Structure formats: structure tokens, C-alpha cells
Amino acid sequence: MNKFIAVLFFMFYTIIIVEGQEMNVKVSVQTLSSINPVSNSASFFKDLEKKISELITTTKWTNDDFTDQEKIRGSFLMTITEANQGSSFKAEIVFQTERPVYSSSYSTPVISIIDKNVSFIYSDLMPLQKTTNTFYDNLSAIISFYMYYALGMDYDTFSNNGGSQYFALAQELIASVPSSFSGDEGWRNDGGGRTNRFWMIENILSPRMRQFRQAYYEYHRLSLDKMYDESDRSRAVLLSAITSIGQANIEYPNTYLVQMFNDAKRDEIIEIFKLGDKGQKDKLKTIMKGIDVFKADKYDVLN
């Protein structure tokens, strides 16, 4: 991918690129320089990186056949932030995916997620496994969750509500998480900022966000994919889709889903509407400043 979120103060990193099945994802595991794991071995984390990459890229996640061009491209960066007793870890995951835009060399970002609530037990003898309704371990569950979510969002860009079956699998996975993990910040369904895995699925499957999902499809399939041939009309369709997302935000205010949309699409939207007319720019700024409050000043370039 062209854009990555920088993570500072790491001790080492390696990158594995593997193509297979539905995912073409770059996987990287790195550690903060401040931690000193009992294993104290670069090979330990390289093994973890390899296992994560194999789980993501060699697992068959759907019943569909993907060509190399159809595979979901992205990056999965795990930064180990704490290591306790040799096998207990805390980490941060940055997961991004993109898909190509029809009749162009451009790829549009689909998701851009930062998960700071990752905790797991791991040893070099432990396998990582695809997880749906049977819980094996927390790391396998977290990775599987993100694969289902990525599939759901990708399929939603090609057909209206096309990703529902994968969101349902992610929801089923959440239901399989044992009660002993009920206090885990990544899975819990109570209070807080409502910006974790539970709320990702709650938001996308909420009836109040149907308008968002319709608009998300229109944004990609009816606008971006037609931008090359019909740029002015496609920009108008895009503005209509963003207007609907603004309405969805009124119906269900300040969801994590809309926050993630902003993080993934902010720069893209600004670049597209630099070529819009003044009326489009003014309307877009009003909508985006209302839903992307903390980055509202970014849209001031659209004069």
C-alpha cells in the first residue's frame, strides 16, 4: 500500500509477503525498544510473524475463488508493547486494506484500523487457527475477526450489503469468546469509548446504519469505479453518498464505523473534491466537518 501509519521506537522488524487464497497482505511484527521479553530472541518474533502471515494468507476464508487480481491487498502490522512472564503479551495492531478502482491504476483504501487493545498468550509451539464458533486462543480469534471484517467491508464495496455473511461470522466469533475474556478491552460490550471489535460489528449490523452501508456501496461501485469515464457525474454521486453517511451519523451519532470511514477516506475525499465546483466543496465541508470533528480543519483546503 502507498500509505502506512508510522510506529516509532522499535527494536527490530522483518516483513513477509505471501500470496494465497483471498488475502495478499504484508505482515510485520515488531517490538518496542523498551521491552525485554524473556525469550529475548528475534527468531521468536520472526516465528510469530510467520505464523500470523500463514494464517492470514494461506487460510481459505470464503467459498469463493479469488484470482490474484481479486485478492484483498493490505498490511497487518503488530507492535509488541509489553511482554510478561515470557508468553503473555500486549500489542497494538494497525490493519489496512485497499481495493483497485475500475479502469485506473489507483487503489482506494477500504479499512484503516488501529487496535490498541490486543492481549494474548503465545509460545513458539502454539499453532494459530482459523476461528469462528470455536474459541482456541485470543490471538487466533483476533486475527480471524479482522479477516472476516475485511472481507465484509470489501464485499460491501461491490454489492449493497454484500458483506453481511462475513460480518455475521465475525459476530459469531465474538459470541464464542469465553466469559473469562469478558473484561478484555478488545471484546467488551459495555461503556468506554465504544471503539473496539464488539462495536465494529454492532455498528455495521445495526439497522440504524443501513443508510451507511448503502452509501458505502454507492461510494465505491457507483462513483469511484466510474470516475475515469464520468468524473463530474461520479463526483456528484460521491457527494450524494457522503450526504447519506452524514444522515446516518445523525441517526446513530459518533459511531466507531464513521470514525473508521473518516480515517480511511479523509485524504481521498479531499483530493477528489479539489476538482469539484464551489457548491460541492461547500456542501462537502459542511458534512465532513460535522462527522470528522477532530480533523475538521483538514477540509479547509477546499476553498
Please write the tens of the pLDDT for every residue from 67-105.
Answer: 998 999 999 999 999 998 778 999 999 999 999 999 999
Q: pLDDT tens across 199-250, in order? A: 999 999 999 999 999 999 999 999 999 999 999 999 999 999 999 999 999 9
- Give the per-residue pLDDT at 183: 80
Task: Report the C-alpha dihedral over residues 160, 161, 163, 166, rounded to 10 degrees.
Answer: -170
Between CA 66 and CA 55 the distance in angstroms is 17
Nearest to 153 by CA among 202, 99, 105, 107: 99
Could you read off the pLDDT of 19-66 as tens digits, one per residue?
A: 448 999 999 999 987 776 555 578 899 999 999 999 999 999 999 999
Q: Mean pLDDT across the stretch 187-210? A: 92
The domain locations on the chain are 210-303
Which residues have CB under 8 Å from 146's CB, separation 6+? 76, 93, 95, 113
Predicted TM-score of the model (pTM): 0.91
Q: pLDDT, tens digit, for every residue of 126-157? A: 999 999 999 999 999 999 999 999 999 999 99
Closest CA to 195 of 76, 52, 294, 77: 294
Q: Are 129 and 55 in contact (CB under 8 A)?
A: yes
Supply φ then ψ for residue 294, to 5 degrees: -75, -15
